Amino acid sequence: MTADQTGPVVGTPHGAVRGRYEQGVAVFRGIPYGAPPFGPRRFRPPAPPEPWEGVRDAGAFGPTAPKPPYSEAFAHYLSDPEIPGDDCLNLNVWTPEPGPGARLPVLLWLHGGALTRGSSAMPVYDGGSFARDGVVCVSVNYRLGVEGYGLFPDAPANPGLRDQLAALRWVHESIAAFGGDPDRITLGGQSAGAISVGALLAAPQSQGLVRRAVLQSGAPEASDRDKVRRVVRRMAARLRIPATAEAFAAVDRDLLLSAQAEVGRFSSPVLGGPAFGIVVDGDLVPRDPLAALRSGEAAADVNLLMGWTRDEYRLWLVPGGLLERVDRLGPVALAGAMARCHAGHEVPRGYRLLRPDAGAAEIVGQMVTDHLLRLPLHRLADARPGTSHLYEFAWPSNLPGLGACHALELGFVFDTGDVPESRLLAGEGAPQELSDALHGAWVRFATTGDPGWEPWDATHPVRVFGTAPPHTTPGPRDADLSLWTTPHPTSPVRGAGNGASNPEQPAHAHGGKAP
């Protein structure tokens, strides 16, 4: 259909939808891929949506999954719109050419938020620039927090991850009608979204559905089941109910979110604590995803683009003044980081030798970042040379203290630096040429599998996107990561539980501050 006041109409397996043309791109918002996950469907795997007759309007974002708001300190930097309604298993499509003949590459985006916050409605995630550049972009809402990742004796594990799998299947079956190529799907995510990408890549049910994958600021991992159970048990104790899905399903949604927020105050990526995470369930996640991907038994033919930011930890520590408090704690903070990372004294000692002028917060932050992100991504790339590309985002925010922090790169990835929500992290005057470079690399990768620099090999090439023009540097993090090559005697095998606290869990947990 040509552009007119009625907008483009596309058929899906459950009914036709009518979108909008915006700046030459066809946009379809709020398309259901699953039935509302409430009532008898609460804490259960997703069910298909009920078919509809006629043409469903897809002009507005659909409801977001239930989630607590950010604390005031974090809301200063991060937006998280809330749209009420039960029909929260929905997705959005941006396409330059709706219709079955285009066969364009597809980017399926999974948002971050520690598996407790975030949504596809965040303005930073607008997919119009990808569609403008020839890539069909799809973004997804999925269940969060206890609704999506609570672990109960009477319900299947990982319902939020099962939502994401249902969305991936919907895209594979339906995206051709929107101009996409189901054989060229790139699955991408940031932070908890990247952790989800890793789990989906390793899932037996997704094999053959994904051509390429992007993991930004998150590595494949499995959380400790007992740790996730403790979150549920603490919520149950606060609510004075049994720790069962049946009991939780009878609780008012707002009351459940309040209990979740209270329990979540005591979690952070820096020092750990109770947190929701993806767990090995013997079905969708039959074993640790990182081990499955490194062994080559899963997604062996999927090309990988993996990245991190130079100062990930600054988003975890700057809001609320935690960075200064960690610096004041000094040796106590370093001891906590050693416990968090299962590291011996030689690790922080090595970081100190490499950074003689750094404060305790920088040492702690870089240790945790390497433990959670850079080391597992390096190891995954080592197991898949020639088909992996790595990069570092190193441009510092124009706001004081943030540096090149966690999530800062997203406005550059989506080329949405002009929206107010991007400026919450970047400040004013973010360089458009850097957006062109990083967004262009993602477009090239989704289109061809080559983002524009050499793939991983023994020289460890890393593309650096910072204040200087983008350039490739051999092994910029090798000196830090070599400190971890000799495991400490108490170190568990990665994936057996040391990654339960997601890199995006806000650090407002400390000091008793409410989220």
DSSP secondary structure letters along 203-219: -GGGTTS-SEEEEES--
Distances (CA, A) of 105 to 136, 175, 210, 445: 6, 10, 11, 10
Determine the pLDDT at residue 513. 28
Please state, in angstroms and rounded to a whole number, the distance separating the CA atoms of residues 437 and 471.
11
8 A C-beta contact, residue 213 and residue 234: no
- Summarize pLDDT for 93-104 with one digit per residue, the tens: 999 999 998 999
Please state, in angstroms and rounded to a whole number, the distance separating the CA atoms of residues 393 and 435.
11
Only one residue has tokens 């993602």, namely 442
Determine the pLDDT at residue 502. 35
Which helix (H) or strand (E) segment holds residue 484: the answer is none
The active-site residue, picked from 120, 139, 174, 191, is 191
* Residue ranges of domains in the chain, CATH in brackets: 9-512 (3.40.50.1820)
The active-site residue, picked from 14, 378, 406, 439, is 406
Q: Which residues of the chain have pLDDT under 50?
A: 1-4, 487-515
DSSP assignments along 164-207, one per residue: HHHHHHHHHHHGGGGTEEEEEEEEEEETHHHHHHHHHHH-GGGT
Query: Three-class SS of residue 305?
Result: strand
Which has the closest alpha carbon to 149: 39, 67, 206?
67
8 A C-beta contact, residue 186 and residue 136: no
8 A C-beta contact, residue 413 and residue 125: no
8 A C-beta contact, residue 117 and residue 146: no
- Neighbouring-strand partners of residue 209: none
The question of whether 421 is a catalytic residue gets the answer: no
The active-site residue, picked from 120, 174, 221, 312, is 312
The question of whether 97 is a catalytic residue gets the answer: no
8 A C-beta contact, residue 407 and residue 313: no
Please state, in angstroms and rounded to a whole number, the distance separating the CA atoms of residues 185 and 439.
17
Determine the pLDDT at residue 509. 27
Determine the pLDDT at residue 383. 98
Query: Three-class SS of residue 450?
Result: coil
- Summarize pLDDT for 439-476 with one digit per residue, the tens: 999 999 999 999 999 999 999 999 999 999 999 999 99
Which has the closest alpha carbon to 306: 368, 397, 416, 220?
220
Please state, in angstroms and rounded to a whole number, the distance separating the CA atoms of residues 134 and 323.
42
3-state helix/strand/coil string of 46-88: CCCCCCCCCEEECCCCCCCCCCCCCCHHHHCCCCCCCCCCCCC
Query: Three-class SS of residue 149?
Result: helix
Q: What share of the chain is helix, strand, coil (3-state, %, to 5)?
A: 40, 15, 45
- Neighbouring-strand partners of residue 223: 497
Please state, in angstroms and rounded to a whole number, the distance separating the CA atoms of residues 173 and 70.
36
**494-506 per-residue burial string, b: 16 or more CB within 10 A, e: under 16:** bbebbbbbbbbbb
Determine the pLDDT at residue 5. 54
Model pTM score:
0.93
Distances (CA, A) of 394 to 125, 127, 406: 20, 23, 11
Please state, in angstroms and rounded to a whole number, the distance separating the CA atoms of residues 388 and 49.
37
8 A C-beta contact, residue 112 and residue 193: yes
Distances (CA, A) of 211 to 24, 79, 173, 270, 376: 27, 31, 15, 34, 21
Determine the pLDDT at residue 494. 34
| Alpha-helical segments (H) within 190-345 | 192-202, 225-239, 245-249, 253-264, 289-295, 313-317, 322-329, 331-341
